[in-house]
Amino acid sequence: MTSRALIVSLTLFWWQNAYPQSARSLLNFSHLEHLSEQIDFLGHRVLIVHVYANYPDYAWTGAAESGPEGIACVDDAARAAVLYLRHFQLHHDSRSLERARLLLSFVMRMQADDGEFYNFILHDHTINTRGKTSFKSFGWWGVRGTWALCAGYRVFRGIDPGFATLMKERVHRTFPHIRAVLSKYSHHKSRKGHRIPEWLFYGSGADVTSELILGLSDYYVATHDTTVRSMIRRLADGIIMMQDGDVRTHPYGLHRSWETMWHMWGNGQTQALAKAGRILGDEKMLKSAEREARGFYPRLLIQGFLKEIDVTSPAGTKEYDQIAYGVRPMVVGLIRLYEAKHKPEYLTMAGLAASWLFGNNVLGQQMYDSSTGRCYDGIRDSVNVNRNSGAESTIEALSTLMEVMRFPEAAKYLSSRKVRSVSSGDILSARFRNDSGAEVTLQVNTKSGELKTIESKHRQH
């Protein structure tokens, strides 16, 4: 056997033994490609992603929940661009790079000269300039557009400098709007005993701010721009102010999303702080990320996922809807923490969190189908699954799995199901079993603050 053949053989052996059968070949872009369409837009060839595809035929469906919206938006195109850029970085897939280029071309055409963004295009491929989910602004869709352009610049600067320069110029258009938000730096108010920083988006939007930090962190890696570094640190200071409690005390280190509310969807604060903290060498950010990961995340895994919490009132806790956009920030946040701190429990928890996609959820329902690449749009309540499969759910599921599959230590838990959950004295714990019979117990001592993951082989009876 030649040395090259030996390497291939050993690699295949490692792959087959490192991953259970259910964890192989999970990434399937077919449904995302079904949702995508190349169009001519404002004189340029671009790629759009249709917002919705409804069960049972999964034909394209436009958005109209908030009045006339449209068929495709920056929100989804930007997320898809980030997904394809990351796929190219990890796997050097030229098709992913080209799809990212076309998506980024769409995002750039949706930015106005003043740096703000429109969100939706209508059926006739004109921009929806007046819809309440599309008006020119620098909020959610502006931040997501900026994230994509920052990630695009990082990747393309060494591949196509001309295209990268176009994105760099558009990133700089957003700086006055970021500075406007930061103009209230160090200003805060109080709401029901909780400090609220006023220098985040929408007055206290730690969730949307986290997505900007993810983008600015990519841009800083590419440029080492000290202005951007300062922006990241100041925005992170606001996110950290939105954190309450620890592993011992309510609400257990979670980062509030807005004012006194936490919601699971899009709550990417730990992901953003872990990424930026590692890039900038900032222990304050990393400690804040770990505080949520070690205090609050285990409770979600042991006691069950939630939709939202009002930290000032138990009546403000809601269990549903549960969606893939809630899973990705938690999973990738844990992986980013592992990359910064190299603590193996973060990979175990990431795999257990991602197993929501494969049935480790309140309904025992598989939410992602690797044979089609579809991810259902969510768990509606205690009995119903939303079997539609739109852009957001598809992209978020693929983004989650792409990161988990990098680590066999996380991927082996994708088929896990919770088989036992216990709350006794100072101990919270749950036992999970994967499809090969391997078990892991996640345990938190709420008195000492200790977090443990204990692996064992399931005993056959």
Write the pLDDT tens digit of every residue in 422-432: 888 899 999 99
Q: What was the pLDDT predicted at 458?
A: 57
- For the chain, percent of residues with pLDDT exceeding 70: 94
Q: Go through the chain and tell me how many residues it has.
A: 461
Q: Rg (Cα) of the chain, in Å, rounded? A: 22
Architecture of the domain spanning 197-416: Alpha/alpha barrel (1.50)
pLDDT digits (tens, 9 = 90+) for 323-367: 999 999 999 999 999 999 999 999 999 999 999 999 999 999 999
Mean pLDDT computed over 56-62: 96
For residue range 83-100, list pLDDT tens digits in order.
Answer: 999 999 999 999 999 999
Q: What single-letter amino acid sits at 450?
A: E
> What is the residue type of 455?
E
State yes or no: pLDDT of 130 exceeds 80: yes
* Domain spans of the chain, in order of start: 27-173, 197-416
Distance CA 112, CA 340 (A): 37
What residues contact 28, with CB distance under 8 A and at least 6 apart? 370, 371, 372, 373
| Cβ-contact 304, 326 below 8 angstroms | no
Please state at what angle helix 391-404 crosses helix 344-354, rounded to 10 degrees: 150
Question: What is the three-class DSSP state of 421?
Answer: strand
Q: Does the pLDDT value for residue 19 go beyond 60?
A: no
- State pTM to two decimals: 0.93
More confident residue, 24 or 367: 367
Model confidence at 457, pLDDT cuts 50, 70, 90, reads low
The pLDDT assigned to 18 comes to 40
Confidence at residue 81, expressed as pLDDT on a 0 to 100 scale: 98
What does the buried/exposed string (b/e) look like for 327-358 if buried means 16 or more CB atoms within 10 Å of the residue's CB?
Answer: bbbbbbbbbbbbbbbebebbbbbbbbbbbbbb
pLDDT digits (tens, 9 = 90+) for 207-256: 999 999 999 999 999 999 999 999 999 999 999 999 999 999 999 999 99
Tell which residue, 304, 273, 453, 455, has the closest CA to residue 382. 304
Residue 1: is its pLDDT beyond 60?
Answer: no
Listed residue (337, 448, 398, 352) closest to 29, CA to CA: 398
| Structure confidence by residue, pLDDT tens digits, 293-319 | 999 999 999 999 999 999 999 898 999
More confident residue, 15 or 341: 341
Encoded tokens for 70: 């449209």
Share in percent of the chain as helix, strand, coil (round to 5): 45, 20, 35
CA terminus-to-terminus distance, the chain? 43
| Highest-confidence segment of 1-5, 368-372, 425-429, 456-460 | 368-372
Mean pLDDT for the chain overall: 93
Contact 118, 128 (CB under 8 A): yes
